[in-house]
């Protein structure tokens, strides 16, 4: 398996080291397994070329000194010549040069030195000496905070007997450090923090006293290392009773409880007891000891299930850096139950505290629920509308996690995507984080968009059944035991990609400027954020601060969702699926498949997409050895694709009953092609003669609004800019040609058809939803009392099956329960359907004019 967890110290050329060093030296056996970020060596080499390295550690210890000396020698960096803050017998035994003269000489000659933070006398403070030394040196002194963690034992608010005897995790005794080293050296890690340039720091402080500057530097380094340590082992552990006491003391929660008690006419104690019961249902029971037990189990599991786990190491290192500065909220895509397991495991393997994961209450079944709670899961009901006490408790608990700086993880999509496509973002938990930030729980909150992608999905067959109209199987112990069969199968590669973190504070000030200071906390979760972004509000329905906050929450959720879409891995199976599904013929010849794959790769590369391993430079022709050919071969073995040879050519056909499974992989990458596909569809609708550019623009805008719940569009760009850029691209590849003010199919009209066909399944599904709604609710409707959403979708699926069998619907994947549900939601949001008491009706009884308008608008795009 690959990933940052396999990182080791960078090594010198073998010929440059003595024989003992080639084998790792006497200490190599113990120090070699320590995990080190891959960028640590290059970063330190670059700093050493410019100045002197002064490493700073928290607590003095012989093992810390020996490891740093070994690491520097192993990495070909300037050797460690002196240390400050390390006293006692062990220091003398290790022959550590500890005099001030030796320390200053080493710094002045460009050798590495080490400072242990401590509480020594002010006159012996090495930082004051470093300030004086830097004023006389031309080259800069770089203060490099480093953290060496042998044990992941979390600190406790109430010290245990072990802490009393052997020191706390933050400042262990030599004996405790030695025991931790012997037990955990294979799981230890060494982290290099951001270096401080002392020369630059002094530029604007020439008049300040050396002692004052030294105190500032020491304080900053101490805080930095404290944050790094907390990132690694987590905040101090608190017992369930202590967590319960702190959460229930939240002032907003108490106010809500008292108000509900008054309104319901019941004792406040009864309402508070309800809040306590809700908190027990929600809260995790995080236990680092369980994490240590599960770590090797998960490593074995992922090694058995997947060929490899491919990790964006640069992105992970970026997350690790920002986690030391502000609380982080991990926002991964959600396609499988494997998502939260692999992310927690990955963070722990790379020296970070596993996150507290927001999970659906359906997963709280025994014994999984109890294990998951101890692993950091907290459970949320699927529907909480109207339960003000429950929502107030949940908000208070989220605020507690943020204040304590526990990493959090939740899915902006809500649930798992059954289609492979990113779901429209839900804003409930985003709103909670914003409220907690506004309430002062943290100075900033950093959201991290993450994409977790699979070349083969464990749940693929169950998703296909659900999309065809089958009921979702309820999670249970029986289902958990039945899932053991997956251990006997192989699921290819798994990819974890990290997009740029998003600062809540920065987004708020970018969007609102000075108005950010006027934002206020909602009085109940769901008061603003729970409403659909498509809801139509009367003028003045919200006051300005509330509306500004709602817009901030929605903008933040959109940025996170768009960030996830940018991080998605373009896999070979995704490219093959997109090439083979986007047409209505029986099959495709190999040359056409190759041409389509090449175009898809080109479009994705222009948009800055991330590609799966080995795709760069590999052939697009499925007949030539490479990842594309391998993907086709796997699909053929799995019964999804049929390969035939006729008239000397190779023809690839998708097995019709398996199209929805392959469609999952196409949907996983479709966001990269939505913009050119919408423009291509709008051009095709004009026929061979084409249409005026303004007419094509209007069609493309209409399609983009039709599918606003299906796709995430580029954040920070106007529709006109996106349209113009994609027209220019289509003209460049020959798919579109300009004839004065008209746009029409170009010399490469087959490319235009290919891109336009990306939208067919969605167009057919939305037309089917509108047709079914008109039939059930129109003037001749059999159900004048209205129909609920579930019944409407069920009827659409049944009508769609008949239309597919008779040829009126071309694609089997058009009969998708998820897409039909989105279409119904869109019609409600646009006011085409009204929902009252759980029943759907037409806004004007018997009037299907607007629904007919949707059908008529879709028709030209399906006629080509």
Q: Where are the domains of the chain?
A: 4-233, 285-565, 569-654, 707-739+747-864
**pLDDT for 302:** 95
Mean pLDDT of the region 311-324:
93
389 in helix, strand or coil? helix
Q: What is the pLDDT of residue 603?
A: 96
Residue 517 contacts by C-beta under 8 Å, 6 or more apart in sequence?
none
Spatial neighbors of 312 by CB under 8 A, at least 6 apart, are 496, 497, 498, 567, 610
Checking if the pLDDT of 72 tops 90, the result is yes
Both tokens of 283, joined, read 């809260």
**pLDDT tier for residue 77 given thresholds of 50, 70 and 90:** very high
- With cut-offs at 50, 70 and 90, classify the pLDDT of residue 10: very low
Section 211-222 average pLDDT: 92
Phi then psi dihedrals of residue 90, to 5 deg: -65, -35
> Is the per-residue pLDDT at 122 higher than 80?
no
What radius of gyration, in Å, describes the C-alpha atoms of the chain? 30
Q: Give the DSSP H or E segment for 643.
A: strand 641-646
Contacts of 762 (CB under 8 A, 6+ apart): 707, 710, 814, 819
Which tops the pLDDT comparison, 9 or 809? 809
Note the Cα 772 to chain centre separation in Å: 37
Dihedral (CA of 416, 418, 420, 426) sign: negative
- List the structure tokens of 412: 């902006």
Query: Which tokens belong to 225?
Result: 């290392």
- Give the HSE-up count for residue 148: Cα atoms under 13 Å, Cβ half-sphere: 29
Percent over 70 (pLDDT), the chain? 89
For residue 407, give the nearest of 334, 323, 341 by alpha carbon.
Answer: 323
| 862 close to 759: Cβ distance less than 8 angstroms | no
CA 35 – CA 29 distance, rounded (Å): 13
Which one is predicted more confidently, 578 or 151?
578
What are residue 814's phi and psi, to 5 degrees? -65, -25
Mean pLDDT of 652-662: 95
Does residue 530 have a pLDDT over 60?
Answer: no
Given this model, what pLDDT does residue 187 score? 82
Question: Quick one: pLDDT at residue 168?
Answer: 57
Q: Are 425 and 413 in contact (CB under 8 A)?
A: yes
d(CA 569, CA 616): 13
DSSP 8-state symbol, 644? E
Nearest CA-CA partner of 663 in 682, 635, 637: 635
Higher pLDDT, 667 or 1: 667
DSSP 418-465: SSSSPPPPP-HHHHHHHHHHHTTS-S--EEEEEEEEESS-TTHHHHHH
Q: What is the mean pLDDT of residues 805-832?
A: 96
CA 483 to chain centre: 25
Buried/exposed 616-653: b ≥16 CB within 10 Å, e otherwise: eebebbbbeebbbbbbbebbeeeebbebeeeeeebbbe
Task: Say how far apart CA 447 and CA 451 lie, in whole Å.
Answer: 13
- Residue 614, token pair as written in the block: 């080995």
Please report how the helices 674-684 and 719-732 are oriented relative to each other, as an axis angle in degrees rounded to 10: 70
CA dihedral defined by 548, 549, 551, 554, rounded to 10 degrees?
A: 180
Q: How far apart are CA 315 and CA 860, in angstroms?
A: 44
Q: Say yes or no to pLDDT of 815 above 90.
A: yes
The helix/strand/coil state of 279 is helix
Q: Are the beta carbons of 582 and 758 closer than 8 angstroms?
A: yes
pLDDT of 602-632, one tens digit each?
999 999 999 998 998 999 999 999 999 999 9
Mean pLDDT of all residues in 584-590 = 94
pLDDT > 80? residue 159 = no
| Confidence grade of residue 171 (pLDDT, cut at 50, 70, 90) | low
Other CB atoms within 10 A of residue 459 CB = 18
What gap in Å lies between CA 608 and CA 604, rounded to an integer?
A: 6
Average pLDDT for residues 508-521, to the nearest whole number? Answer: 84
> What is the pLDDT, as a whole number, of residue 538?
38
Distances (CA, A) of 368 to 289, 361, 372, 409, 411: 17, 11, 6, 18, 19
DSSP state of 336: S
- Widest distance between CA atoms in the chain: 98
What class is the 285-565 domain? alpha beta
Confidence class for position 525, pLDDT limits 50, 70, 90: very low
Q: What is the dihedral of CA 804, 806, 808, 812, to 10 degrees?
A: 20
Strands 839-841 and 834-836: antiparallel
Instruction: Name the DSSP class of 156.
Output: B
- Supply the pLDDT for residue 322: 94
Once rounded to an integer, what is the mean pLDDT over residues 816-821? Answer: 96
Supply the pLDDT for residue 156.
64
Q: What is the overall mean pLDDT for the chain?
A: 88
Average pLDDT over residues 326-347: 96
List the structure tokens of 731.
């003209």
> Pick the residue with more confidence: 153 or 305?
305
The pLDDT confidence band at residue 49, using thresholds 50, 70 and 90, is: very high
* Residue 587 scores a pLDDT above 70: yes
- Supply angle C-alpha 635, 638, 641, rounded to 5: 45
> Which phi-psi region, left, alpha or beta, contains residue 681 (left: φ > 0; alpha: ψ -120 to 50)?
alpha
359-376 burial by CB neighbour count: b if 16+ within 10 A, else e?
Answer: bbeebbbeebbeebbbbb
Residue 97 has pLDDT above 80, yes or no: yes
CA gap 347, 354 in Å, rounded: 6
Instruction: State how far the Cα of 312 lies from the Cα of 116, in Å rounded to an integer.
Output: 33
Residues 6+ apart with CB under 8 A from 301: 341, 487
Read off the pLDDT of each residue in 346-350 and give the average, rounded to a whole number.
92
**pLDDT at residue 167, rounded to an integer:** 53
Q: According to the model, what pLDDT value does residue 85 have?
A: 87
Strands across the sheet with 742-745, in order? 691-692, 742-745, 736-739
Return the axis-axis angle of helices 240-248 and 388-403, rounded to nearest 10°.
110
Q: Which of these ranges, 43-47, 204-208, 240-244, has the smallest mean pLDDT? A: 204-208
Of 156-160, 268-272, 440-444, 743-747, the least confident: 156-160
Residue 749: predicted pLDDT:
94
The pLDDT value given to residue 162: 54
d(CA 68, CA 188): 13
Residues composing the chain: 864
Stretch 153-167: mean pLDDT:
59
The total of other beta-carbon atoms located within 10 Å of residue 170's CB is 15
- Integer CA distances (angstroms), 749 to 586, 703, 735, 746, 759, in order: 19, 21, 5, 5, 16
Structure tokens at 671: 């966001």
Dihedral (CA of 16, 18, 20, 26) sign: negative
Angle CA 813–816–822, to nearest 5? 130
């Amino acid at each position: 398996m690959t990933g940052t967890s396999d990182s080791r110290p960078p090594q010198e050329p073998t010929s440059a080291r003595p024989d003992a060093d080639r084998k790792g030296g006497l200490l190599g056996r113990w120090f070699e397994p320590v995990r080190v970020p891959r960028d640590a060596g290059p970063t330190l080499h670059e700093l050493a070329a410019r100045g002197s390295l002064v490493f700073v550690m928290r607590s003095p210890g012989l093992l810390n000194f020996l490891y740093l000396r070994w690491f520097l020698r192993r990495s070909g960096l300037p050797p460690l010549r002196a240390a400050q803050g390390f006293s006692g017998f062990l220091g003398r035994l290790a022959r550590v040069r500890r005099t001030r003269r030796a320390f200053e000489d080493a710094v002045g000659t460009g050798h590495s030195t080490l400072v242990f933070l401590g509480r020594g006398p002010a006159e012996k403070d090495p930082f004051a000496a470093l300030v004086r030394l830097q004023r006389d040196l031309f080259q800069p002194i770089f203060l490099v905070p480093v953290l060496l963690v042998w044990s992941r034992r979390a600190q406790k608010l109430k010290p245990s007997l072990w802490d009393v005897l052997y020191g706390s995790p933050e400042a262990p005794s030599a004996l405790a450090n030695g025991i931790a080293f012997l037990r955990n050296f294979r799981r230890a890690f060494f982290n290099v923090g951001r270096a401080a340039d002392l020369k630059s720091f002094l530029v604007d402080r020439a008049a300040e006293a050396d002692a004052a500057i030294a105190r500032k530097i020491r304080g900053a380094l101490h805080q930095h290392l404290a944050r790094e340590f907390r990132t690694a082992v987590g905040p101090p552990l608190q017992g369930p009773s202590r967590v319960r006491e702190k959460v229930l003391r939240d002032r907003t929660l108490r106010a809500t409880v008292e108000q509900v008690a008054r309104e319901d006419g019941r004792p406040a104690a009864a309402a508070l007891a309800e809040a306590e019961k809700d908190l027990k249902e929600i809260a995790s029971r995080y236990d680092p000891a369980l994490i240590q037990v599960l770590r090797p189990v998960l490593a074995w599991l992922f090694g058995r299930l997947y060929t490899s786990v491919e990790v964006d190491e640069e992105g992970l290192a970026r997350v690790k850096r920002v986690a030391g500065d502000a609380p982080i909220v991990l926002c991964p895509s959600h396609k499988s139950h494997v998502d939260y397991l692999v992310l927690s495991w990955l963070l722990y393997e790379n020296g970070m505290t596993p996150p507290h994961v927001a999970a659906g209450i359906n997963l709280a079944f025994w014994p999984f629920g109890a294990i998951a709670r101890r692993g950091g899961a907290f459970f949320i009901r699927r529907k909480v509308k109207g339960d003000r006490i429950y929502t107030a408790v949940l908000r208070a608990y989220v605020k507690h996690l943020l204040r304590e700086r526990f990493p959090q993880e939740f899915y902006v999509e809500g649930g798992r995507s059954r289609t492979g496509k990113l779901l429209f973002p839900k804003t409930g938990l985003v709103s909670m984080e914003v409220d907690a930030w506004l309430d002062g729980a943290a100075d900033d909150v950093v959201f991290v968009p993450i994409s977790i992608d699979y070349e083969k999905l464990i749940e693929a067959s169950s998703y296909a059944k659900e999309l065809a109209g089958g009921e979702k199987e309820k999670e249970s112990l029986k289902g958990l035991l039945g899932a053991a069969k997956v251990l006997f199968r192989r699921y290819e590669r798994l990819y974890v990609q990290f997009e740029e973190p998003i600062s809540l504070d920065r987004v708020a000030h970018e969007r609102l400027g000075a108005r950010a200071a006027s934002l206020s906390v909602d009085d109940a979760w769901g008061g603003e954020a729970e409403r659909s972004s498509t809801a139509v509000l009367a003028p003045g329905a919200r006051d300005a601060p509330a509306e500004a906050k709602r817009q901030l929450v929605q903008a933040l959720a959109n940025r996170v969702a768009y960030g996830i879409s940018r991080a998605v891995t373009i896999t070979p199976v995704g490219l093959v699926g997109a090439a083979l599904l986007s047409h209505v013929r029986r099959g495709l010849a190999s040359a056409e498949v190759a041409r389509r794959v090449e175009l898809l790769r080109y479009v994705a590369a222009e948009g800055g997409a991330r590609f799966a391993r080995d795709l760069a430079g590999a052939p697009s022709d499925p007949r030539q050895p490479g990842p594309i050919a391998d993907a086709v071969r796997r699909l053929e073995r799995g019964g999804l694709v049929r390969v035939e040879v006729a008239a000397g050519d190779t023809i690839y056909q998708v097995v019709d009953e398996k199209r929805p499974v392959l469609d999952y992989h196409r949907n996983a990458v479709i966001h990269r092609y939505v913009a050119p596909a919408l423009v291509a569809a709008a051009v095709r609708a004009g026929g061979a003669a084409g249409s005026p550019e303004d007419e094509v623009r209007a069609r493309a805008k209409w399609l983009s609004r039709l599918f606003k719940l299906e796709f995430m569009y580029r954040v920070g760009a106007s529709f006109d800019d996106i349209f113009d850029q994609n027209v220019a691209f289509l003209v460049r590849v020959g798919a579109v040609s300009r004839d004065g003010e008209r746009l029409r199919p170009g010399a490469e009209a087959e490319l235009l058809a290919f891109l336009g066909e990306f939208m067919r399944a969605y167009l057919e599904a939305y037309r089917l939803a509108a047709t079914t709604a008109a039939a059930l609710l129109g003037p001749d409707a059999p159900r004048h009392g209205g129909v609920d959403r579930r019944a409407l979708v069920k009827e659409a699926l049944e009508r769609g099956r008949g239309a597919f069998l008779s040829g009126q619907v071309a694609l089997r994947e058009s009969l998708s329960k998820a897409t039909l549900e989105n279409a119904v939601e869109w019609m409600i949001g646009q006011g085409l359907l009204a929902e009252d008491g759980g029943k759907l009706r037409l806004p004007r009884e018997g009037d299907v004019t607007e629904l007919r308008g949707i059908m008529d608008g879709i028709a030209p795009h399906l006629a080509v």
